[in-house]
Amino acid sequence: MTITNQILFNPTQLVLELDEATVDRAWQTSQVTTGNSTSRWQRYLNQLALDTILPWLQAEEDETAKAGLNEAVRADIWEVVNGTIINLNDAKIVLIPTEAEDLSELRVPQEWIDIPEWKADYYLAVQVSIDAGFVRVWGYATHQQLKNNGNFSHSDRTYSLSDDELIADINVLWVARELCPDEVTQAAVEPINDLDPDRADSLIERLGSQSQLLPRLAVPFTTWATLIKNPQWCGRLTAKRRGEATKTPVLQWFKRGIANMATEFGWRQIEMTADTLGARGINIPELTSNLVPTVGFAKQIAIANQPYELRVFPLGESGSWRFELGCLTPGCVILPGVRLRLLTEDLQSFEGNEEVATEPVPLLFIEVDLEEGESLVWQAEPTPDNYQQEVLQF
C-alpha cells in the first residue's frame, strides 16, 4: 500500500507501507539461512525491500516484473553482497536497501556494476524503516551514470552518487522508458574470465571461514567476481560460511583429477589396479583398461584413537560406487560393533545403506548405484574424532 500522507516525505518519492505479515515472514526467513548477524540483517532488509516493492511494480507499472534470481541464489548473494535484482519485461532493476536515515548518497557494490552478468539498467536507492513501517524509494540512477560519473571507493568497492545527482521521482523512470525506449542505460564493462576450478576450491576454503568478516574485500575484485558470478561456487561458499555440510563434487574431481584436493577437503587420490580390486573380491567380468577404474580417493580418519581410512571409488558399471572403511595399522582388524553407514542428503536411510562388523574383519564396504547429481552422507560408529558431516555429490 502506498502511504498517501507524505507530509514528512518528499512528495515525488515513492513511499510504501510495511505490513506486519511481510515483516514477520522476512524475519523468520532471515534467521535460518545466514551465517552471522551482519548477513542475517542484510538478508532481512533485502527481503523486505523485495517483498514490498515487487508487488507494487507488478500492480502499477509492469505486470511481468519478477525477482531476477530464485530464492536460493538470492540467499547466497545476500550472504556476501547487498542488493536485489528485479527483471522487467525489457529492463533490469537493482534495489539497494539501507536502514540509514542519512540519505545523502547512493552506494552500490561494485559487483552490481562491473560483473557483466549482474549489471542492470536502473539502481534504486531504498530506505527501509522497520520501526516507522515504511519502505521509501528516494532516488534512482542508471548503470551508465554510476559507472561513468559515480565516485568509486577502493576501500569498500562501491560506486556512489550524491542525492542531488539522483532522480528522486521514480515516475520519471517510466516516462523516460516510454518516450525514449532506445535510451542507453548501461555502460560497457570489461568481461570477466572464468576461474580455474582448483583455484575456486581453494578460494571457497579460504573465504568460507567465518574469520573472513568481509570476504568480498579479501581478494582482488576480478578474482572475487569470477567466483561469485558462478551460482554453484557462490552456493558452496555461502554454505561453508553458514556452517552447513560441505558438498564435495565427486564427479568433478574425477573429470579433472583430484591431486590437489587434500589440503582443501582432506582427501587424497589413490590408484585402483586389477590386483587391488581382485584382492577385495570385486567381481568385474573383464579386467580391461576400459572397465577397471584407475583412481579412487581416500580420507584418513580416527576412530577410538585408531587410524582408519575411508575409501571411495567407482566400479566398472557407470554409476556404481564402492565405499570402504579399513584399518591403517598393519595387522589391525575392524572390531565387532564398528559400523559404516550411508544416508541420503536429507539424512534418510535406504536399503543396504549400512554394514556392521559382527566379527573381526579387515574392512567394511557398501556398494551403491547412483544417478549423476545424487548425493550421499557418510557416517561411522563409533563417531570418528573431529567428525564433520560431509555431503558427497556424484
Residue entry with cell 565427486: 250
Q: What is the mean pLDDT of residues 306-315?
A: 90
Residue entry with cell 567466483: 227
Whether the pLDDT of residue 148 is over 70: the answer is yes
Nearest residue to 328 via CA among 310, 354, 347? 310
Instruction: Provide the percentage of residues in the chain whose pLDDT is more than 90.
Output: 48
Mean of per-residue pLDDT scores for the chain: 85
Question: Cα Rg for the chain, rounded, in angstroms?
Answer: 27
Q: Output the pLDDT for position 33.
A: 60
Tens digit of each residue's pLDDT (9 = 90 or more) over 245-284: 666 667 666 666 555 554 456 788 887 665 555 555 555 4
Nearest residue to 156 via CA among 109, 189, 116, 215? 109
Question: Is the distance from CB of 95 to CB of 124 less than 8 angstroms?
Answer: yes
Whether the pLDDT of residue 363 is over 80: the answer is yes
Tens digit of each residue's pLDDT (9 = 90 or more) over 80-120: 999 999 999 889 999 999 999 888 999 999 999 999 999 99
Nearest residue to 381 via CA among 343, 344, 348, 345? 343
Query: Of 12-21, 188-197, 312-321, 376-385, which range is least confident?
Result: 312-321
Q: Which three cell numbers stand for residue 258?
A: 583430484
Whether the pLDDT of residue 244 is over 80: the answer is no
Q: What is the mean pLDDT of residues 23-29?
A: 87
Whether the pLDDT of residue 243 is over 70: the answer is yes
Q: Output the pLDDT for position 35.
A: 67
Apex 199 CA angle, 195 and 205, nearest 5: 125
Q: What is the mean pLDDT of residues 47-63?
A: 93
Q: What is the mean pLDDT of residues 124-132?
A: 94
Query: Of 119-128, 303-312, 315-324, which range is least confident?
Result: 315-324
Name the 3-class secondary structure at 102. Answer: coil
Question: Is the distance from CB of 303 to CB of 385 less than 8 angstroms?
Answer: yes
φ, ψ at 392 (rounded to 5°): -100, 120
Q: Express the helix, strand and coil content of the chain in percent, nearest 5 each.
A: 30, 30, 40
Tens digit of each residue's pLDDT (9 = 90 or more) over 203-239: 998 999 888 889 999 999 999 999 999 887 898 899 8
Domains defined along the chain, listed by start: 14-179 (3.40.1350), 193-244 (no CATH), 246-393 (2.60.40)
